[in-house]
């Protein structure tokens, strides 16, 4: 019997990633968790570029509001995010650094405005050095259609 548990943790500002995270969680039978930052990002695109860009440039980890109480019970963590500046938002780094993810498998997925988010793998590996990080999945492009190939 397969008793592995999957967490689908995502960060999303304008719901693109959220919508796909919900579909993915349903498709894989995972538990959905929204990564929320203590500070809200500005509504405007320019505002998000300014705040998110500064965090990235300065390596600032925005504080995360909520925690996964039972992280130990998951062995697969799917992490969803919008591509920001060709990588993941710093909120993803904050989130990953909060836990001991030793031995867990991380499946990163992203939405984007058309650009690739595959470079996020480096930042995710740095934030979760003892986890096994898989290839990044372009959820904007594939939706849930290629999940099986990705995760096999
Ligand atoms: C601060 C910021 C930086 C972004 N950087 C990129 C980028 O480098 N490449 C890209 O294709 N899209 C970029 N985008 C577009 C988002 O990745 C895209 O709109 C995403 O689907 C938004 O997801 P969300 O609704 O879950 O927040 C950026 C958006 C913002 C706000």
Phi and psi for 19 in degrees, rounded to 5?
Answer: -60, -45
For ligand 1, atom 18: residue with the closest CA: 112
Average pLDDT over residues 13-40: 98
Q: What percent of the chain has pLDDT over 70?
A: 98
Give the end-to-end CA distance of the chain in Å, rounded to a whole number.
17
User: For ligand 1, what atom is nearest to the CA of residue 115?
Assistant: 11
pTM of the predicted model, to two decimals? Answer: 0.97
Tell me: the pLDDT tens digits for 33-79? 999 999 999 999 999 999 999 999 999 999 999 999 999 999 999 99
Q: Where are the alpha helices (DSSP H) in 37-151?
A: 45-58, 90-97, 120-127, 139-142, 147-151
d(CA 109, CA 118): 9
Ligand 1 center–CA 3 separation, angstroms: 35
Q: Superfamily assignment of 6-151 in CATH?
A: Flavodoxin domain (3.40.50.360)
Tell me: the pLDDT tens digits for 125-142? 999 999 999 999 999 999
Residue of 84, 90, 139 to mutate, ligand 1, most atoms within 8 A of C-beta: 84
């Amino acid at each position: 019997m397969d008793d592995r548990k999957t967490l689908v943790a995502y960060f999303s500002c304008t719901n693109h990633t959220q919508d796909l995270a919900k579909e993915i969680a349903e498709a894989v039978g995972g538990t959905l968790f929204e990564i929320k930052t203590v500070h809200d990002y500005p509504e405007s695109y320019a505002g998000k570029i300014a705040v998110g860009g500064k965090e990235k440039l300065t390596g600032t980890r925005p504080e995360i509001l909520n925690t996964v109480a039972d992280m130990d019970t998951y062995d697969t963590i799917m992490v969803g995010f919008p591509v920001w500046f060709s990588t993941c938002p710093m909120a993803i780094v904050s989130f990953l650094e909060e836990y001991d993810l030793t031995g867990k498998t991380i499946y990163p997925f992203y939405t984007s405005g058309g650009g690739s988010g595959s470079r996020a793998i480096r930042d995710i590996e740095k934030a979760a050095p003892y986890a096994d990080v898989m290839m990044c999945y372009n959820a904007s492009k594939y939706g849930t259609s290629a999940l099986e190939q990705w995760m096999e």
